[in-house]
Amino acid sequence: MSQANRIKIAKRIGQEIADGQIVNLGVGIPTLIPDYLGGKKLYLQSENGLLGMGPTPAEDEIDMDLISASKQPITAEIGASIFDSTESFVMIRGGHIDVAVLGALQIDQTGEIANWAVPGKTILGVGGAMDLVVGAKKIIVATTHCAKDGSLKLLKKLTYPTSGKRKVDMVVTEHAVFTFANERMKLIELNSELTLEELKAITEADYEIALQTENMKYPINILK
């Protein structure tokens, strides 16, 4: 997937995050979000023990003693707080995270996700994924629409181990935005040049079409 598409996803999710919120960012595409928040004043939390994460540092300002849970170099905002991972997971499990932005291997049509293990491959560990799925008030998934091998990610039913029975609220890909409510999936935005038919061809999951044309980058596609 091109870096431009990864940035497009990060920018779109940045629109969903509000001033004053406490936000946890997962591995992969979510790590790009701090650079695309448009000056919003909020609190980015990393489960390795930081509240107040700032944008990506310039190359000559990287300090590898200051990294995120994704092991990426970060900056700390003025007033940031550093603490141990035990306190960090108390925040997560105690329901103090307003929004968690996670990557995913698969998402089913009810909003259940799998993001920690591929059957038959080495498992490095669950990390904070299961805790965030349970503890965050809102869950947004940032993901490519298909896997690198072309396999579909948005499915009728998961085939990989679940990250928890809690359902996600939104999925943002390079092509579309979906929301979930009462275990029903809705397409609300089409953000690439794909037609509705082309999008459906790469989306196994069943979904309703409830396009909000004022938010769509390519609204003409609903007429194709």
Q: Give catalytic residues, as residue numbers.
A: 47
What pairs with residue 176 in β-bridges? 190
- 158 Cβ contact partners less than 8 Å away, ≥ 6 residues apart: 106, 108, 112, 113, 114
Q: Compute the distance between CA of residue 174 and CA of residue 112 in angstroms, rounded to an integer.
A: 20
Q: Which two tokens stand for residue 220?
A: 């003409």
- 21 Cβ contact partners less than 8 Å away, ≥ 6 residues apart: 42, 43, 98, 99
Query: How far lies 152's CA from each of 66, 147, 186, 200, 209, in Å?
Result: 36, 6, 17, 11, 19
User: Which residue's structure tokens are 């993901």?
Assistant: 143
H or E element, residue 17: none
Q: Which two tokens stand for residue 144?
A: 């490519």
Q: Which two tokens stand for residue 110?
A: 């009810």
